[in-house]
Structure 1
């Protein structure tokens, strides 16, 4: 497999992406990593000695900045690392792209360059969450690509997410829920109520409304919502995860007694495991489900380790043969899923990271 890495994307670019790309290339000698970016800036970051033989640089002179308007910047900066990277995937020179850059621009770039799978109205960012059961993971989508959604969009997200969880996580029949402010059918909004009505007509294992806590319970494996709500949930969960670990450490340090210190020492492996479970760097990145190709959105603050893991997610997604299954599932859903005329509106509604 050949993986494209946007070397200029992210808060810590190009340093973190380049280091993460080198780490991945050394760990996976059978696969190639293409660093797309300014050669003059990328080359000195490769370190002393010869770089891995399966890593190369593809020059791109421009950068889509984190505060750029997503689709406008992608269109105007024709030699940006993000655009050049997507074009490599589109033209068959690479199997997947990873970027920690402007997430709105990554989505816009995927739409403008790769396009949608047949029948897909809106691609979605699919974010993994730690869960207590059900395979130890749950999937939330959309996590930030589409601010305003129609009921049919949420229903399509459910179809895409269910297929992804089956193929990538090995859950034979994932349960699907619509995120709401309560489990009762009378709760929610017109969007969630209409989406639920559609999903009740499907052949999915539909659980109805679920609450935020159900993301972590594992009782459902796929949770769908609009991109605005999903992004808020994602960012809040990141903050809570980091806060819990920090508060535990702070409480232990404040007590400061011998028994507390001994207890903390004994708990270190468990606390380290908890930190890994809630750390976004462990998950690497979120796939853009519904594109004609594999695109992975990494966190804007990605460290080299997070980039390494995002490349791992890209490799696994590309190897899973998702595109054929997603296309098949969307086609099968046409019997119960209404469709609407698609325009360019979707590319300009992305939520920036």
Structure 2
């Protein structure tokens, strides 16, 4: 497999992407990594000695910045690292792309360069959350690609999320739910109520509404919402997870006695395990489901380890037959979920958000 890593994307670019690419290339000599970005800035970061033979540099002179308007910047900056990287995937010169850059631009790039899978109205960013039961996971989508959604979009997210969890995580019959402000059918908004009505017609194991706390319960494996809500849930959960660890450390340090210090020493393995569970770096990145190719959206603050894991996620997704399964499931869902947008109109509307 050949994997593209956007060397100029993220808060710590190009240092973190270059180091992450080096780690991955050395650990996976049977696969190639294409670092796309400003060659003059990348070369000094490779260090002394010869880089791994499976690591390649591909020059791109422009950068889509984090504060750029996503779709217009992608269109305007024709030699940006993100655009050049997606074009490598489109042209069959690479199998997947990873970027920690502007997530909206990754969405726009996937749509404008690779296009949507047949029948998909809106691609979605799919993020995994840790679950309390059995060490499982819960998939939340959309986590930020689409601020404004229609009921059909949420229903399609449910179809794609169910296919992902079943094919990638091995859950035979994932339970699907809509995120709301209560479990009662009378709660929610017109968007959530209409999406729920559509999903009740499906052949998915749809359980209705869940609340935010249920993302971690393990009782459901797929939760759908609009990208605005999903991104807030994601960022809040990240802050809570790291905040809990920090507050525990502060409490121990504040007391400062021998019993507390001994207790902290005994708790270190457990706290390290907790940090791994809540740390986004362990998951690496979130797939953009619904495009005709593999795009992984990594966290903007990604460290080299996070990008190493994101490349691993890209590798697993690219060779797992996920695209074929998504296409099959979307086609089957057309029986109960007619789409309202087709062709260029759907793409233009999606990238204008």
- TM-score, normalisation: structure 2: 0.98
1:211 and 1:134 map into 2 onto residues whose CA distance is 20
1:135 and 1:144 map into 2 onto residues whose CA distance is 25
2:260 and 2:53 map into 1 onto residues whose CA distance is 50
2:333 and 2:326 map into 1 onto residues whose CA distance is 11
Deviates more, 1:339-348 or 1:198-207: 339-348
Q: Which residue of 2 aligns with 1:168?
A: 168
Q: 1:134 to 1:159 in 2, by over 3 A?
A: farther
Instruction: Confirm or deny that 1:348 pairs with 2:335.
Output: no
CA contact (8 A) 1:134 1:219 kept: no
CA contact (8 A) 1:9 1:102 kept: yes
Q: Which residue of 1 aligns with 2:84?
A: 84
1:48 shift after superposition: 1.0
1:249 and 1:135 map into 2 onto residues whose CA distance is 24
Q: Which residue of 2 aligns with 1:140?
A: 140
SS at match of 2:121: coil
Q: Which residue of 2 aligns with 1:247?
A: 247
Instruction: Confirm or deny that 1:65 pairs with 2:65.
Output: yes
Alignment map for 1:67-216 (pairs within 5 Å): 67-133=67-133, 136-216=136-216
CA contact (8 A) 1:137 1:221 kept: yes
1:170 and 1:319 map into 2 onto residues whose CA distance is 15
1:338 shift after superposition: 2.2
Q: Which residue of 2 aligns with 1:30?
A: 30
Q: How many residues of Structure 1 are paired with residues of Structure 2 in the alignment?
A: 349
SS at match of 1:246: helix
Deviations along 1:245-281, whole A, 9 cap, x unmatched? 0001111111111111101000100000001100111
Q: Which residue of 2 aligns with 1:332?
A: 332
Deviations along 1:258-306, whole A, 9 cap, x unmatched? 1111010001000000011001111100000000000000000101011
1:299 and 1:100 map into 2 onto residues whose CA distance is 5
CA contact (8 A) 1:124 1:157 kept: yes
Superposed structure 1 runs of 4+ greater than 3 Å apart = none
1:134 shift after superposition: 5.7
SS at match of 1:213: helix
SS at match of 2:4: strand
SS at match of 1:187: coil
SS at match of 2:334: helix
2:338 and 2:257 map into 1 onto residues whose CA distance is 63
Deviations along 1:106-132, whole A, 9 cap, x unmatched? 100000000000000000000011111
1:6 and 1:134 map into 2 onto residues whose CA distance is 35
Deviations along 1:48-92, whole A, 9 cap, x unmatched? 111011100011111111111100000010010000000000011
Task: Give the root-mean-square deviation of aligned CA atoms.
Answer: 0.7
CA contact (8 A) 1:134 1:220 kept: no
Q: Which residue of 1 aligns with 2:235?
A: 235
SS at match of 1:184: coil
1:341 shift after superposition: 2.0
